[in-house]
Amino acid sequence: MRFFDPHIHMTSRTTDDYQAMADAGVRAVIEPAFWLGQPRTTVGSFVDYFSSIVGWERFRAAQFGISHYCAIGLNSKEANNEGLAREVLELLPLYALKEGVVAVGEIGYDEITAAEERAYQAQLEFALEHDMVVMVHSPHRDKKNGILRSLDVAAEIGIPMGKLVIDHNNEETVQGVLDRGAWAAFTIYPDTKMGSQRMVELLKQYGPERMIVDSSADWGVSDPLAVPRTAALMLEQGVDPEWVNLTCWQNALDVYAQSGQIDVAALERKPQVDQSQLFGENSVLRGQEPRVDAAVAN
Amino acid sequence: MPHGGPATMNPTRALMSTDRINQDLAFWLDAALEPHWGEEGAVWWAQALERVGAGLSGSTFGATLSVASRHTPRVALDPDADALAQADEILPGWNPERWDVLEAARVRLLLTRPDLEKDTFPQDLATLCQHADEGELRAIYKSLALLPEAERFSTRAAEGCRTNIVPVFESVACDTPFPFTCFDDLAWNQMLIKGLFIGAPLVRIVGLDRRLNPELARMALDLAEERRSAGRVVQPELWMCLGTHGGQRALDSLQHELASDHVVGRRAACLGLARAGHGDLVEPDSQLTLIRERMLAGDTGRRSFTQLED
């Protein structure tokens, strides 16, 4: 089966992860810009980060036959450093319109402060101006209220609900998002946000329309195989395979392909690893096949 | 250690200097791009050229370069043989055979800037590179040879060779006269050896045969020994890097390769021996029949290091 993980932070992951994802059928990923676990102190750090997710990371993914897209935006936590936030927002036109950028994201609220709201609004206006999809991060604390507010503000600015993805939903928030006509994404995390079993129950209750499964795997405890693992559980528990396809592939493709940045036909074809880029001291694979059960062969 | 500048080995003219050549380039690119524009693309393109021609500030130009990807068909430029011959006439060594439409459009936008000859342009180009994604970097590096006073950008191009992204490396190194004309020996030699490491096609490096040198031969021979110590096959293109340099050590290494069981390596070593003036050391051998014909015909230039497989 093929999978699209539309929210994963690959800069924080290893080549072993890429290999395991490719082996498990993950064919495409979206890497939204977010924070690095600690706050950045200068705009130059954002420049290099944005550059890496539109450049090197895409190249790294391609070496495993995985198509890498990204979303560019100022995350909610760092929006609170207002001086820096202004400088980062000035970078937006330089990065958000590049090839392979499928959305403005991940943006939204963390503590629901006034500074977060200003950054969120500014980025929504940018998205509207350039007819872009928006990927919204929902807060850990006061989640339900934060989600409703992010929907309201997006609607006020005029973002079409068909171009709005609200992420990190749970049992308490999903109905509100679906009722508004936006897309509801679910992050499958060990121990927190949402588990695979809960996801299966949600799917049975709400059906597959506008429902999206992702891993949001990053530098914390998380699982880059969360999408294929959840799909396996769905199938095991009798969920219609077409529903699995919709939530783990097609829905994400439908919403983000509105960007015009995804070559859908190419993605439908079986992925090809570009052998010409596999060898050499500087390539990611360094001429080796990553294996744990064999001596280091070079 | 002193390194000779390009002038010591290549006393040719500077790359681009006159308005006429610039106009020829613009004309060539317009002709190559013209059949690829759709209706929407053509409208955007006309506006973009006009805005850039009127003069855009740094980040606005950068955004225009980026957004080109959203209006340009993702297909090969595909210039025909006549167009390629013209390209080589406008700038000897320039071969846009493998360019895509987006690269050509971005190069054309760069060439349209009215400030190319100003002192501020190199800094602006550096900032552009700082914010560039892979596709933009490819276009920027492909444009360097076409810019006025191209030698101003040799440090930038050497930086491009430090990339780990092979298509970006090739944009600096291959199908362009820029490295041959503008790199010093250090940058030139490092580019060739790095090309071997990352599997970039050395056969497409313009002027390779004319800038072989003893230091490059020494580096290549060291690399060959490193590969053999590690039990690895020596890259056949490594034997392009010797020419008449390297003395007895080179001949020994070539003959070692000739005695190996690596067919492609043996054939490349034959060409290496011929380039060193010792083609006579190659004995008749069924694996080497076609290569010996090539050698007899005097076909031992860089382009002869292709089709070495059966």
Q: Residues A100-111: what's their mean pLDDT?
A: 96
Nearest C-alpha neighbor of B202 from the set B243, B168, B173: B173
Domain closes at, from B148, B168, B184? B184
B75 within a domain of the structure (yes/no): yes
Q: Do A94 and B131 make contact, defined as CB atoms within 8 angstroms?
A: yes
pLDDT for B13 beyond 60: no
Kindly report the average pLDDT of chain A as a whole number.
Answer: 91
pLDDT at B58: 74
pLDDT in tens, B188-226: 999 999 999 999 999 999 999 999 999 999 999 999 999
Residue whose tokens read 């706050």: A39
B143 within a domain of the structure (yes/no): yes
Number of helices (H), then strands (E), belonging to chain B: the values are 16, 0
Cα-Cα-Cα-Cα dihedral sign, residues A133, A137, A138, A139: negative
Q: Are residues B145 and B216 in the same domain?
A: no
Q: Given A51, A99, A280, which is nearest B69 (Cβ)?
A: A99
Q: Do B63 and A97 make contact, defined as CB atoms within 8 angstroms?
A: yes
Q: Are residues B22 and B166 in the same domain?
A: yes
B284 within a domain of the structure (yes/no): yes
pLDDT for A128 beyond 60: yes
Most A CBs within 10 Å, among B56, B74, B131, B159, to test the A interface: B131
pLDDT in tens, B139-194: 999 999 999 999 999 999 999 999 989 999 999 999 999 999 999 999 999 999 99
ipTM: 0.80
Q: Do B136 and A100 make contact, defined as CB atoms within 8 angstroms?
A: no
pLDDT at B19: 65
pLDDT for A284 beyond 50: no
Q: Are residues B237 and B88 in the same domain?
A: no
Measured N-to-C along each axis, helices B166-173 and B134-143 cross at an angle, to the nearest 10 degrees, of 10
Q: What is the pTM for the complete model shown?
A: 0.86
In three state form, how does the secondary structure of chain A look?
CCEEECCCCHHHCCHHHHHHHHHHCEEEEEEECCCCCCCCCCHHHHHHHHHHHHCHHHHHHHCCCCEEEEEECCCCCHHHCHHHHHHHHHHHHHHCCCCCEEEEEEEECCCCCHHHHHHHHHHHHHHHHCCCEEEEECCCCCHHHHHHHHHHHHHHHCCCHHHEEECCCCCCCHHHHHHHCCEEEEEECCCCCECHHHHHHHHHHHCCCCEEEECCCCCCCCCCCHHHHHHHHHHHCCCCHHHHHHHHHHHHHHHHHHHCCCCHHHHHCCCCCCHHHCCCCCCCCCCCCCCCCCCCCC
Residue A222 and residue A55: Cα distance in Å, rounded? 24
Q: Are residues B133 and B238 in the same domain?
A: no
CB B95 within 8 A of CB B173: no
pLDDT band per the 50, 70, 90 thresholds, residue B9: very low
- Domain count within chain B: 2
Residues of A in contact with B67 (CB under 8 A): 97
Q: Which domains does chain A have, with CATH numbers?
A: 3-276 (3.20.20.140)
pLDDT at A278: 40
pLDDT at A194: 84
Q: Are residues B172 and B276 in the same domain?
A: no
b/e burial code for range A28-49 (CB count within 10 A of at least 16 → b) = bbbbbbbbeeeebeeeeebbeb
Q: Are residues B216 and B179 in the same domain?
A: no
Q: Are residues B156 and B220 in the same domain?
A: no
Q: Are residues B24 and B115 in the same domain?
A: yes
Q: Do A51 and B59 make contact, defined as CB atoms within 8 angstroms?
A: no
> Which two structure tokens, joined as six digits, stand for A276?
């010409």
CB A84 within 8 A of CB A78: yes
Mind telling me how many Å the CA of A53 is from chain B's nearest CA?
Answer: 9
Q: Do B63 and A260 make contact, defined as CB atoms within 8 angstroms?
A: no
The range of the structural domain enclosing residue B260 comes to 212-304
B3 within a domain of the structure (yes/no): no
pLDDT in tens, A172-222: 999 999 999 999 999 998 777 788 899 999 999 999 999 999 999 999 999
Quote the percentage of chain A above a pLDDT of 70.
91
- Cβ-based neighbours of B153, under 8 Å, separated by 6 or more: B122, B125, B144, B147, B178, B182
Q: Residues A70-75: what's their mean pLDDT?
A: 98
What three-state secondary structure class fits B24? helix
> Which two structure tokens, joined as six digits, stand for B90?
């406008």
Cβ-based interface (< 8 Å): residues of A facing B: 47, 51, 54-56, 58-59, 90-91, 93-95, 97-100, 260-261, 263, 276-277, 279-283, 298
pLDDT for A291 beyond 50: no
Q: Do A263 and B135 make contact, defined as CB atoms within 8 angstroms?
A: no
DSSP B282: P
Residues of B in contact with A279 (CB under 8 A): 198-199
B207 within a domain of the structure (yes/no): no
pLDDT at A296: 58
Q: Residues A219-238: what's their mean pLDDT?
A: 95
Q: Are residues B168 and B257 in the same domain?
A: no
Q: Are residues B159 and B249 in the same domain?
A: no
Q: Are residues B221 and B92 in the same domain?
A: no
B64 within a domain of the structure (yes/no): yes
B6 within a domain of the structure (yes/no): no
Q: Are residues B165 and B216 in the same domain?
A: no
Q: How far apart are the first and last CA of chain A?
A: 33
CB-facing half-sphere around the CA of A156: CA atoms within 13 A: 10
Residue B178 and residue B165: Cα distance in Å, rounded? 19
Domain closes at, from B146, B168, B184? B184
Residues of B in contact with A281 (CB under 8 A): 197-198
Ranges A154-168, A283-297, B14-28: which has the least confidence: A283-297
pLDDT for A287 beyond 50: no
Most A CBs within 10 Å, among B75, B103, B133, B202, to test the A interface: B133
Q: Given B131, B197, B199, which is nearest A51 (Cβ)?
A: B131
Kindly report the average pLDDT of chain B as a whole number.
Answer: 92
B206 within a domain of the structure (yes/no): no
- Cβ-based neighbours of A98, under 8 Å, separated by 6 or more: A54, A72, B66, B69, B133, B136
Going from the C-alpha of A31 to that of each of A3, A4, A97, B173, B184, the distances in angstroms are: 15, 12, 15, 31, 40
Domain closes at, from B167, B184, B201? B184
pLDDT band per the 50, 70, 90 thresholds, residue B246: very high
pLDDT in tens, B70-124: 999 989 999 999 999 999 999 999 999 999 999 999 999 999 999 999 999 999 9
Mind telling me how many Å the CA of B7 is from chain A's nearest CA?
Answer: 31
